[in-house]
Amino acid sequence: MIVTIFRSRLNPGVEDEYRPMAKHMSELARTIPGYVSHKGFVAEDGERVTIVEFETEEALQEWRLHPEHAKAKRRGIQSFFSDYKFQICTVIRDRVWMCTRRPANSQPVPDVG
């Protein structure tokens, strides 16, 4: 799995214009074969962090080169972002643990990883 961590800050006054474009990019990313997920967060200090997961580097490359995404990136650099940074990471290990209430007579699932 490939994970992209995209960190940015918006210029003042661009939120209303940025929001629809970001929504469209979210919808478009989901159409890329190999797309896994993405989620965005905004910190108290205004920094935005988006985490995007693709199954392979080829899937990420398809997203990176998609014409609409390329156009949105250019627009972001020119108009929306005061600064940004991205990191492309390969997942070395992946574990998932979900805390759910189990019936009193059930057994926990053993850790196999």
Over residues 8-39, the pLDDT tens digits come to: 999 999 999 999 999 999 999 999 999 999 99
> How far apart are alpha carbons 32 and 109 in whole angstroms?
33
Name the residue type at position 33. Answer: P
pTM above 0.85?
Answer: no
Phi, then psi, of 29 in degrees rounded to 5: -60, -40
pLDDT per residue as tens digits for the range 46-82: 999 999 999 999 999 999 999 999 999 999 999 999 9
pLDDT at 110: 60
**Assigned token pair, 113:** 């990883």
Q: Which structural domains are found in the chain, ordered by start?
A: 2-90 (3.30.70.100)
pLDDT at 1: 95
Inter-residue contact 73 to 18 (CB < 8 Å): no
pLDDT at 39: 96
